[in-house]
């Protein structure tokens, strides 16, 4: 039976988790059979366990993995249109999902803040890159491919995304496209496909 896709917060690992074993330092926080997605770039998408990601946002020292690589912290390149690298990553995720493992797609769940419910894959630094509409269209199409084979998909009713089809960073950051359910997600993916 296939695993679950959950749009949710990626839990933060404890300090210096890379100095211990996964059983001691990682599994108490992360699920042993769960992949956690984050927005990478071509320079830090594939980093060995415990090695620095040298990035910002979800790749920073204040991010969920404290800025270190882990095989289950799966980087999706959201900084450039790179289907070659990302296709391989999505193939791995598909195999994991088919094997019954779960996938968490990052959503900010900071209740009480303006970011509560924000879909967080490529909506930080990724809002400023060239071809951002095409990148988001590609990523959402791949996420829908995974959703199609998942046993269950969990979407928080407060989920939203900046409207990456808008022409400037200020407009994109100040718009909220509500994504409370699968129908809205599919409509958003169709909008992106048409705009790209």
For the chain, what percent of residues have pLDDT higher than 90?
83
Mean pLDDT over the full length of the chain: 94
pLDDT digits (tens, 9 = 90+) for 17-60: 999 999 999 999 999 999 999 999 999 999 999 999 999 999 99
Identify the pLDDT of residue 129: 86
C-alpha to C-alpha distances, 22 to 16, 19, 27, 136, 178, nearest whole angstrom:
12, 9, 6, 32, 36
Q: Please check the confidence at residue 123 and state whether its pLDDT lies above 80.
A: yes
Of 41 and 126, the one with more pLDDT: 41
Q: What is the pLDDT of residue 113?
A: 64
**Burial degree of 80 (CB within 10 A; 0-12, 13-18, 19+):** middle
The alpha carbon of 133 is separated from its chain's Cα centroid by a whole number of angstroms, namely 16
Task: Give the model's pLDDT for residue 111.
Answer: 66
Beta-bridge partner residues of 74: 37
Distance CA 2, CA 108 (A): 25
DSSP string, 109-153: --TTSTTTTBB-SSSSGGGGSTTHHHHHHHHHHHHHHHHHH-SEE
Dump pLDDT digits (tens) for 99-118.
999 999 999 987 666 688 99
Maximal C-alpha separation, the chain? 47
Residue 92's pLDDT is what? 97
pLDDT of residue 112: 63
What does DSSP say about strands 152-154 and 4-8: parallel, antiparallel, or unpaired? parallel
pLDDT at residue 1, rounded to an integer:
87
Tokens read off for 167 = 């022409």
Q: Mean pLDDT over residues 125-131, rounded?
A: 85
Report pLDDT digits (tens) over 60-94: 999 999 999 999 999 999 999 888 889 999 999 99
From first CA to last CA, the distance across the chain in angstroms is 34
């Amino acid at each position: 039976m296939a695993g679950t896709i959950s749009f949710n917060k990626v839990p933060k690992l404890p300090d210096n988790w890379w100095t211990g074993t996964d059983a001691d330092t990682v599994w108490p926080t992360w699920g042993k059979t769960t992949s956690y997605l984050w927005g990478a770039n071509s320079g830090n998408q594939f980093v060995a366990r415990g090695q620095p990601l040298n990035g910002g946002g979800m790749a920073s020292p204040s991010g969920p993995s404290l800025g270190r690589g882990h095989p289950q912290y799966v980087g999706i390149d959201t900084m450039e249109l790179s289907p070659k690298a990302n296709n391989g990553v999505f193939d791995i995720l598909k195999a994991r999902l088919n094997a019954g493992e779960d996938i968490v797609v990052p959503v900010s769940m900071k209740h009480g803040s303006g970011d509560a419910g924000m879909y967080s894959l490529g909506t930080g630094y990724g809002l400023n890159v060239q071809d951002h509409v095409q990148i988001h269209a590609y990523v959402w199409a791949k996420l829908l491919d995974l959703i199609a084979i998942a046993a269950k998909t969990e979407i928080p009713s407060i989920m939203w995304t900046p409207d990456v089809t808008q022409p400037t960073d200020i407009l994109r950051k100040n718009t909220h496209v509500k994504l409370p359910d699968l129908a809205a997600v599919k409509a958003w993916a169709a909008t992106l496909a048409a705009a790209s």
